[in-house]
Structure 1
Amino acid sequence: MHSIAEAARAVLETAEPAEKVKTARLAARRWRRGELAHRFDVAMPERPAWPERPELLPPNRMPKRGRAGSPRARVALVHALAHIEFVAIDLAFDMLGRFGGAFPRGFVDDWIAVGADEAMHFALLDRRLRGMGSHYGALPAHAGLWEAAEETAGDVMARLAVVPMVLEARGLDVTPATISRFEAAGDSATARILHRILKDEIRHVGSGTKWFESACARNEIAPQAVWRDLVARHFRGIVKPPFNDSARQAAGLTREYYAALAHDGENFP
Structure 2
Amino acid sequence: MNAPTLARAIRAVMLTPEPQDKVMAARDVVRRWRGGELAMVFDVAMPDYPARPDKPELLPPSAMPKRGRGSAHGRLALLHALAHIEFVAIDLALDAAGRFGAEMGRQFVDDWLSVAADEAMHFALISRRLRTLGSFYGAMPAHDGLWDAARETAHDVAARLAVVPMVLEARALDVTPATVERFLAGGDDRSARILQRIVDDEIRHVRFGTTHFTAVCQTRGESPADLWKTLVRQHFRGVVKPPFNDSARRSAGLSREMMAGVACQ
Question: TM-score normalised by the shorter chain: which range applies?
Answer: over 0.9
Partner of 1:137: 138
Partner of 2:44: 42
Contact persistence 2:229–2:262 (CA under 8 A): no
Partner of 1:197: 198
Distance 2:122 2:54 in 1: 21
Partner of 1:173: 174
The count of aligned residue pairs is 263
Distance 1:29 1:143 in 2: 28
CA deviations on 1:16-63 (whole Å, 9 max, x unpaired) are: 000000000000101111111111111101100000100011111111
SS at structure 2 position matched to 1:145: helix
Distance 1:250 1:143 in 2: 29
Letter in 2 for 1:214: A
Partner of 1:55: 57
CA deviations on 1:122-146 (whole Å, 9 max, x unpaired) are: 0000000001100000000013221
Contact persistence 2:233–2:262 (CA under 8 A): no
Partner of 1:29: 31
Could you tell me how far 1:257 is from its partner in structure 2? 1.4
Distance 1:26 1:223 in 2: 35
SS at structure 1 position matched to 2:145: coil
Whether 1:127 aligns to 2:158 is no
Following superposition of structure 1 onto structure 2, how do residues 1-269 of structure 1 map, counting pairs within 5 Å? 2-66=4-68, 68-261=69-262, 265=265
Percent identity, please: 64
Unaligned 5+ segments in structure 1 are none
Distance 1:107 1:234 in 2: 22
Contact persistence 1:202–1:251 (CA under 8 A): yes
CA deviations on 1:205-239 (whole Å, 9 max, x unpaired) are: 00000000000011111000000000000001111
Contact persistence 1:224–1:257 (CA under 8 A): yes
CA deviations on 1:106-161 (whole Å, 9 max, x unpaired) are: 00000000000000000000000001100000000013221000101111110000
Q: Normalising to structure 1: TM-score of the pair?
A: 0.96
Distance 1:64 1:54 in 2: 16
Runs of 4+ aligned structure 1 residues displaced above 2 Å come to: 259-262
CA deviations on 1:76-106 (whole Å, 9 max, x unpaired) are: 0000000000000000000000010001200
Distance 1:109 1:24 in 2: 13
Could you tell me how far 1:261 is from its partner in structure 2? 4.6
Distance 1:216 1:46 in 2: 26
Could you tell me how far 1:11 is from its partner in structure 2? 1.2
Unaligned 5+ segments in structure 2 are none
Contact persistence 1:241–1:261 (CA under 8 A): no
Letter in 1 for 2:75: R
SS at structure 1 position matched to 2:53: coil
